[in-house]
Chain A
Amino acid sequence: MDRRKIEENIFKSLMIASTLIILSSLMIILITVIVNGLPAMNLAMITQTPKGGYYLGKEGGILNAIVGSLYLAGGATFLAILISLPVVLYLNVYAKKGSRLVIFTRFSFDVLWGVPSIVYGAFGFSIMLFLGVRASLLGGIIAVSLLILPIMSRAMDEVIRMIPEELLDASYALGATRFETALKVVTRQAMPGILTAVLIAFGRGIGDAASVIFTAGFSDYIPYSLLRPVATLPLAIFFQLGTPFPEVQNRAYASAFILTVIILIISIVSRILARRFTKHIVK
């Protein structure tokens, strides 16, 4: 065999191996979660709050953490949209392309993306001290929104940057202002991408433990106030795994399974929504 053919084959096997590693890690994680979680899976897990405390309790469920996580990630995602969307619209519609501010803002998204989530937890905690807020749903929402802000902004920016200049010109030529163009044309054209960005951010937010450990606290009840501590699935997993009792540890795996299913459902829903918007897009 000649050298180029050998080269080709080596690279082909390397690529296949990498793909297999990714797929098998995913399978192994899912299998571990399901096998270990199965003994604890029952209807009570998703319909009841824990009995006997979240740390040691072997009865009841984790409804508090499910609802808590949905509230928290939902609230944080909402807050992050309110900030991300104006930022990326500013970068792409208003600001001068290639200006220092634009370059610097994009650069800071990249840096913020890489900051570990415990740092957002600590930062959120110091904001809470400043505002006089204790560990609570509100505190958690603030910390998680900070965590997912760069993720969401960057993902939105990537899609909005792809919109052809001529499409914006078509709107301007009709006498539309930048604001009208941003709101009615840019967001519509980018809608599938915006939905994906929101989904990625939500997934990251609902799965993160470190940012909520000081800011959201934990509780055994279903959250009823923004100012009360709230349980979250990642922390429920963390606490339950930390007990010496195998039964409770199984509950941790069951909780992880529930978290995975929630993320799966949200991915599917957002994909369906994105497809509904894609039909309007002209490439």
Chain B
Amino acid sequence: MEFRTHISVQNLNVFYGNEQALKNITVDIPDKKITAIIGPSGCGKTTLLKSFNRLIDSIDGIKVSGKVLVDGENIFDPKVEVTRIRKKMGLLSQKPYPLPMSIYDNIAYGPRIHGIKDKKRLNEIVEHYLKESGLWYEVKDRLHSPASRLSVGQQQRLCLARGLAIEPEIILGDEPTSALDPKSSQRIEHRFLVLKKQYTVVIVTHILRQAKRLADYVIFLYLGELIEHGPAENVFNNPKEEMTKEYIKGIIS
């Protein structure tokens, strides 16, 4: 599989205090594809994902070494402004966290802090990204009611629209369907398949079937180590490592 690299992880080590959560990870993540990070719980998937937008920065006692290059730029370089890096990425967390404001303001939050003030422009943005995340027709008559009143599945799509509204290049999802019912999960998965035409998508999942349905590229982590990575069909059909085989067969989990 030939691809252009969007995120390049080079010798990344992450420590929480004395515990090492990621051990010398080196991997390239392809542009405009869906990459799935798989592995059992506690193996460092979230840590890897959150190092892409430096959300791990604010954790106490964290130590990071190595590089993460996004578009060729090392995001851990002290000269890099973290808000600019984060603006390149939209994040979906395990459980949706709408901001304590209206549906409209949730979407407009990002564009507003990045300097868009024009009312008309904001209206367009809100409508556009709510459509893109497949929520528009459900909420168009109550844009100014609290986001907290939406169902969890709707909240997750709202969070997707909110992330898209900052015009990122990359979408990060940390088990984004784990709190959702099957129907809502399906909707989100469908969105990812549409979005990968324009965005690089990286999702963490511990659901193997979901990874098989979505992923073009797979990264398998185990106890903080990168065991195997490669195009999805190779990893799923012809795993090179014994550990990967066992994980895919469900022997280790």
Q: Which residues of A contact B (CB under 8 A)?
A: 96-98, 164, 166-177, 180, 184-185, 188-189, 191, 279-282
Contact at A280–B163, with CB atoms within 8 Å?
no
Contact at B166–A97, with CB atoms within 8 Å?
no
Contact at B97–A166, with CB atoms within 8 Å?
yes
Contact at B148–A175, with CB atoms within 8 Å?
no
What residues of A have a CB within 8 angstroms of the CB of B109 in the complex? 171, 174, 176, 184
* Given contacts A167-B97, A170-B97, A174-B113, A282 and B147 within 8 Å (CB-CB): yes
* Given contacts A180-B113, A280-B100, A282-B98, A174 and B148 within 8 Å (CB-CB): no
The reply on B237 being an interface residue by CB < 8 A is: no
Contact at B110–A175, with CB atoms within 8 Å?
yes
Chain A residue nearest to B83 (CB atoms) is: A175
Contact at B100–A282, with CB atoms within 8 Å?
yes
What's the Cα separation between A166 and B95 when bound, in Å?
Answer: 9
What residues of A have a CB within 8 angstroms of the CB of B83 in the complex? 175-177
**Which of A97, A164, A167, A279 is in CB contact (< 8 Å) with B99?**
A167
The reply on B241 being an interface residue by CB < 8 A is: no
Q: Could you pull out 8 A-B pairs where Cβ atoms are within 8 angstroms?
A: A96-B60, A98-B60, A167-B100, A171-B109, A174-B162, A175-B87, A175-B166, A176-B110
What residues of B have a CB within 8 angstroms of the CB of A191 in the complex? 100
What residues of A have a CB within 8 angstroms of the CB of B58 in the complex? 168-169, 172
Interface residues of B in 39-66 (CB under 8 A from A): 53, 55, 58, 60
What residues of A have a CB within 8 angstroms of the CB of B93 in the complex? 166, 169-170
The reply on B146 being an interface residue by CB < 8 A is: yes
Contact at B113–A176, with CB atoms within 8 Å?
yes
What residues of B have a CB within 8 angstroms of the CB of A282 in the complex? 97-98, 100, 147-148, 155
Contact at B53–A173, with CB atoms within 8 Å?
yes
**Which of A172, A176, A184, A279 is in CB contact (< 8 Å) with B148?**
A279
CB distance from A124 to the nearest CB of B (A): 37
What's the Cα separation between A189 and B42 when bound, in Å?
Answer: 30
The reply on B215 being an interface residue by CB < 8 A is: no
What's the Cα separation between A168 and B147 when bound, in Å?
Answer: 16
The reply on B187 being an interface residue by CB < 8 A is: no
Q: B86-113 CB contact bits vs A (8 Å, 1 = yes)?
A: 1101110101011111100000011001
What residues of B have a CB within 8 angstroms of the CB of A98 in the complex? 60
**Which of A174, A177, A188 is in CB contact (< 8 Å) with B166?**
A174
What's the Cα separation between A188 and B101 when bound, in Å?
Answer: 8
Chain B residue nearest to A174 (CB atoms) is: B110
Contact at A173–B163, with CB atoms within 8 Å?
yes
**Which of A97, A171, A172, A279 is in CB contact (< 8 Å) with B149?**
A279
What residues of A have a CB within 8 angstroms of the CB of B162 in the complex? 174
What residues of B have a CB within 8 angstroms of the CB of A189 in the complex? 100
For the A-B complex with A169-B55, A175-B86 known, give 11 more contacts whose Cβ atoms are closer than 8 Å. A166-B97, A167-B97, A169-B97, A170-B91, A171-B109, A173-B86, A173-B90, A174-B87, A176-B83, A177-B113, A279-B146
What residues of A have a CB within 8 angstroms of the CB of B204 in the complex? none
The reply on B249 being an interface residue by CB < 8 A is: no
Contact at A174–B97, with CB atoms within 8 Å?
no
The reply on B84 being an interface residue by CB < 8 A is: yes
The reply on B197 being an interface residue by CB < 8 A is: no
CB distance from B98 to the nearest CB of A (A): 5
What's the Cα separation between A168 and B166 when bound, in Å?
Answer: 17
CB distance from B163 to the nearest CB of A (A): 7
Contact at B84–A170, with CB atoms within 8 Å?
no
Contact at A174–B163, with CB atoms within 8 Å?
yes
What residues of B have a CB within 8 angstroms of the CB of A171 in the complex? 99, 109
Contact at B100–A281, with CB atoms within 8 Å?
yes
Interchain residue pairs A-B with the least CB separation, the first 10: A173-B91, A175-B87, A280-B100, A174-B110, A175-B86, A189-B100, A188-B100, A175-B83, A282-B148, A170-B97
What's the Cα separation between A98 and B17 when bound, in Å?
Answer: 14
**Which of A97, A166, A173 is in CB contact (< 8 Å) with B89?**
A173
CB distance from A245 to the nearest CB of B (A): 55
**Which of B55, B95, B98 is in CB contact (< 8 Å) with A173?**
B55
What residues of B have a CB within 8 angstroms of the CB of A168 in the complex? 58
The reply on B159 being an interface residue by CB < 8 A is: yes
Chain A residue nearest to B99 (CB atoms) is: A185
What's the Cα separation between A191 and B90 when bound, in Å?
Answer: 27
Max count, chain A CB within 10 A of own CB: residue among B53, B98, B101, B113: B113
* Given contacts A98-B60, A184-B109, A281-B148, A172 and B55 within 8 Å (CB-CB): yes
